[in-house]
Structure 1
Amino acid sequence: MSDQGKTISGTAPIAMIVAPGSGHGKSMVTAALARLHKNEGRTVRVFKHGPDYLDPMVLERASGNPVYQVHGWMTGDDEIRWRLAEAAQEADLVLVEGSMGLFDGDPSSADLAVSCGIPALPVIGANAMGQTFGAIALGLARYRDDLAVHEVIANRVGSSYHAQLVKESLPEDISLLGAIPRSESFDIPDRHLGIVQANEITNLDQQLDAAAEVLKEAGLDQLPSEVTIEASLPTAPPRLLEGHRIAIAKDAAFAFIYPGNVDLLEAMGAELSFFSPLADSELPATDALWLPGGYPELHGEQLAANTAMKAAIRAHHQAGKPIYAECGGLMACTETLVDPADGREHSLYGLMPGRVSMAPKRIALGIQALNTEKGELRGHTFHHSQLETDVEPDSRTTKKNGSEGERVFRVGSLTASYFHGYFPTAPELVADLFKG
């Protein structure tokens, strides 16, 4: 984050993988494409549109490189162009995975494609349809005059005859890039927040290699067209955390960490270390803690049984040292977590009064912002758990439509919320959160 105002330009084959909606298989197609070209010896960079922690874990494993979020509202268009331009300077292939349907959300995946001049490459699940495939492709291509759609991918075709049907159904100016047959190698297990975390899938690398071979046999090993992206380098953040030590929880229970957030802390001068609340018995030497989101509800018994770590976190809090807890981190900071599997109650860190249990359906989803005098921290929320507490919130986030969002609690040196922040949007506020 230097050379403020300098313009950079990058040119590389770039494709934005999109779909008519969720469930068409674009995530695994993107991952398989990344692994296919990585296995061919190419440097592959992948980006994910919109708030998401789980898909990027698989995409990172597939490509062998960090996966950053790009979203016109949460990260900003300037950052999108900067990240893509930098990637295009070094990579042989750049892929951007869209979110939900091509035109869903504000901003949508289509907005990003148009803003950066990238053609959209729809993945359309062809199962349970024939010639209707062409109508869907036509609709995606014609819905916006400023969006380029030249090719489509048919996913989950049942036979060569089925593939021929969908190919013949396309209008003359849209070609079928490839038809992917149904294959178990594209099936990833999921749970209430999305797909299972990459490090929990024991055979993921073999599965990605197998999916890559399926794409190669389907003729999807060709590179997309080159795109040139120009951008200005961002302003270097102030060194407000110079020499400040921050310990970050990272394991199977706490893993929802945007790489852009880590980069920002380091750029502000913070000295970072990582620890496991599940396995470690003590904290690293640190001035502040960050307990990010994740799946503490799946590890309540083990978290509760690690009495040494509980004592260390409580001592950190009692010493008045800052703790920033997001979503799963908030859940762990309460007194009681109800196990969703058997209903047992586990005693957790007890930094704030409260009881957390899982709801039968999603409680909250969407982009939000925390507005303060030190800046607007943009981010999002997505959780299936519900918190019962008598603690009055210190503030609340605001949804993009202006309505009230998540509660933000301050209990001593603890700041906790279901809200996930994207740190680069408000460096001064983030510095305050970790300095207390």
Structure 2
Amino acid sequence: MPSTRCPAILVAAPASGQGKTTITSALARLHARQGRRVRVFKCGPDFLDPYWHTLASGAPVYQLDLWMTGEEDCQARLTAAAHEADLIIVEGVMGLYDGEPSAADLAQRFGLHVLAVVDASAMAGTFGALAFGLQHYRKDLPWAGVLANRVASTGHAYMLRNAIPEARNWLGAVMRNADMTLPERHLGLTVASEVPDAMARLDAAADALQDTPLGQMSLQDLRRWDTEFPLLHDARAVPALLAGKTIAIARDAAFCFIYTANLDCLQSMGATLRFFSPLANEAVPDCDAVWLPGGYPELHADRIAGSAQTRSSLAQHIAAAKPVWAECGGMMALFETLVTTDGQTHALWGLLPGEVTMHTRLAALGPQQLELATGLLRGHTFHYSTTETTLQPVARTARPQTEPSPQAGEALWQQGAVRASYFHAWFPSSPTAAASLFLPTGEVT
């Protein structure tokens, strides 16, 4: 593929909670329903926002992170998107300059033009100072402009507009509107598939955006934010380490933290993927290995406990010494009991010894890496629970550029062919190491 140019925007903000996801989804929905090809990406390790972006754009959504996914992977995915899309939108993470690497780092590395979304509900002239600071804090940051969000009235919008000296930088005001609010819970946004009126909310947001200068831009207008994406040699081909293997994956409202790139990675190594729902009490399909991804077991503890057929078939799979990889919520379901924040104790599958306790505050958050004999997996951790178990860790994760220690990082527990951890792995960071999670111990060297 030759190099190509495509409008590319990074939707950022001064902090979390400003409405980045809503505006990103609204912009994607606005152009998608006009028949344009939109590709959306999410900056950083996030499972939840991409559900909304996928619904809005009608296309798969992948993560971009200069550390977790790596610069080469980011470049390859952006280049591939540029060859098939009319518009690329990347949602940032936290505030524009927060984190290492930050959304600003990503924007500068790939020439993504920053669209700053600012919750202007409690400000007027200061809006201009905040926008100026975001634009000029770092030299040569590609800039698209600023959008005021949750604006109270046309008069309020007029004051905000007057705070921006350069007309080109003003992309409009989106009024406060409960109809376009995306519902949240303790780990972030509610998964779009669980919200009956999800598309109506996206359409309401797109309608609101359509009344702004940003929303009224044609494809030709968007070309002012063109970015060139050069051809790169695709070095991401992986050996067929899982050829002939079938991997059964739990997937429903309780087990929904699944990177699309992880599914792609397993398939690229030759695996056949089959899905089942523990909440529907479905038996584990005939397979060579099982993946129990993260999610919300704490919201569905009674249904998980009542999924006798799922538990029985999983126990048979484990008894046959077939591999199980369980991460975060998937791991939690394997333990004996779960104590929720209201103090109630719920029985779980009891396939690992121990008790999980939910807390009202985060227990762990941040990038992590797991060193296996087969390679180094990058990923992250994000959970509100802690676990007490008689199992002893066989390994621990570590933060980037640090060594694992007994006092830090997430434990990797192993009992027979079951391996479990709070660690969420990004499989493409080391396909060989990822494959080893689904093969009998020692089979991959």
Alignment of 1:306-321 (within 5 A): 306-321=307-322
Aligned to 1:411: 415
> Match for 2:10 among 1, 12, 16?
16
Q: CA separation in 2, counterparts of 1:8 and 1:194? A: 39
Alignment of 1:87-106 (within 5 A): 87-106=81-100
1:344 shift after superposition: 3.3
Unaligned runs of 5+ in 2: 441-445
> Match for 1:77 among 68, 71, 76?
71
Q: CA separation in 1, counterparts of 2:255 and 2:78? A: 28
Q: CA separation in 2, counterparts of 1:265 and 1:215? A: 38
Amino acid across the alignment from 2:428: P
CA RMSD, Structure 1 to Structure 2 (Å) = 1.4
Q: CA separation in 1, counterparts of 2:372 and 2:330? A: 22
1:401 shift after superposition: 5.3
Q: CA separation in 2, counterparts of 1:310 and 1:175? A: 57
Q: CA separation in 1, counterparts of 2:77 and 2:5? A: 12
Q: CA separation in 1, counterparts of 2:82 and 2:16? A: 27
Give the TM-score normalised by the residue count of structure 1: 0.96
Amino acid across the alignment from 1:157: V
Which deviates more from structure 2 when the two are superposed, residues 158-167 or residues 90-99? Answer: 158-167
- Paired residue secondary structure (1:256): coil
Please say if residues 351 and 411 of structure 1, whose CA atoms lie closer than 8 Å, have aligned partners that are also in contact. no
Please say if residues 10 and 89 of structure 1, whose CA atoms lie closer than 8 Å, have aligned partners that are also in contact. yes
Q: Which has the higher contact order (CA 8 A, sep 6+)?
A: 1
Aligned to 1:113: 107
- Paired residue secondary structure (1:398): coil
Alignment of 1:5-154 (within 5 A): 8-154=2-148
Q: CA separation in 2, counterparts of 1:75 and 1:171? A: 38
- Paired residue secondary structure (1:166): helix
- Paired residue secondary structure (2:282): coil
- Paired residue secondary structure (1:35): helix
Q: CA separation in 1, counterparts of 2:306 and 2:330? A: 17
Q: CA separation in 2, counterparts of 1:235 and 1:28? A: 32
Aligned to 1:384: 384
Please say if residues 258 and 294 of structure 2, whose CA atoms lie closer than 8 Å, have aligned partners that are also in contact. yes
Please say if residues 314 and 349 of structure 1, whose CA atoms lie closer than 8 Å, have aligned partners that are also in contact. no
Please say if residues 279 and 307 of structure 2, whose CA atoms lie closer than 8 Å, have aligned partners that are also in contact. yes
Per the alignment, do residues 8 and 245 of structure 1 end up closer, same or farther by CA in structure 2, a change over 3 Å counting? farther
Which deviates more from structure 2 when the two are superposed, residues 205-214 or residues 169-178? Answer: 169-178
1:227 shift after superposition: 1.4
Structure 2 residue 436 is the aligned partner of structure 1 residue 432: yes
Please say if residues 327 and 419 of structure 1, whose CA atoms lie closer than 8 Å, have aligned partners that are also in contact. yes
Please say if residues 335 and 351 of structure 1, whose CA atoms lie closer than 8 Å, have aligned partners that are also in contact. yes
Structure 2 residue 181 is the aligned partner of structure 1 residue 177: no
Please say if residues 171 and 212 of structure 2, whose CA atoms lie closer than 8 Å, have aligned partners that are also in contact. no
Indicate the percent of aligned positions where both proteins have the same amino acid.
Answer: 48
Alignment of 1:353-392 (within 5 A): 353-392=353-392
Q: CA separation in 1, counterparts of 2:144 and 2:198? A: 32
Unaligned runs of 5+ in 1: 1-6
Structure 2 residue 350 is the aligned partner of structure 1 residue 346: no
Aligned to 1:3: none
Aligned to 1:235: 236
Q: CA separation in 2, counterparts of 1:357 and 1:135? A: 45
Aligned to 1:4: none
- Paired residue secondary structure (1:254): coil
Q: CA separation in 1, counterparts of 2:133 and 2:339? A: 46
Per the alignment, do residues 172 and 219 of structure 1 end up closer, same or farther by CA in structure 2, a change over 3 Å counting? closer
1:150 shift after superposition: 4.0
Q: CA separation in 2, counterparts of 1:139 and 1:237? A: 44
Aligned to 1:189: 183
Q: CA separation in 2, counterparts of 1:12 and 1:332? A: 44
Amino acid across the alignment from 2:425: G
Q: CA separation in 1, counterparts of 2:263 and 2:93? A: 23
Q: CA separation in 2, counterparts of 1:86 and 1:47? A: 12
- Paired residue secondary structure (1:415): strand
Which deviates more from structure 2 when the two are superposed, residues 33-42 or residues 156-165? Answer: 156-165
Please say if residues 133 and 166 of structure 1, whose CA atoms lie closer than 8 Å, have aligned partners that are also in contact. yes
Per the alignment, do residues 150 and 305 of structure 1 end up closer, same or farther by CA in structure 2, a change over 3 Å counting? closer
Give the TM-score normalised by the residue count of structure 2: 0.94
Aligned to 2:400: 400
Q: CA separation in 2, counterparts of 1:233 and 1:8? A: 13
Per-residue CA deviation, residues 148-195 of structure 1 (Å, 9 max, x unaligned), is 224111111112222121222124386201111111133122111011
Aligned to 2:443: none
1:43 shift after superposition: 1.2
Structure 2 residue 164 is the aligned partner of structure 1 residue 167: no
Per-residue CA deviation, residues 111-145 of structure 1 (Å, 9 max, x unaligned), is 11001011111111111100101111111111111
Which deviates more from structure 2 when the two are superposed, residues 151-160 or residues 413-422? Answer: 151-160
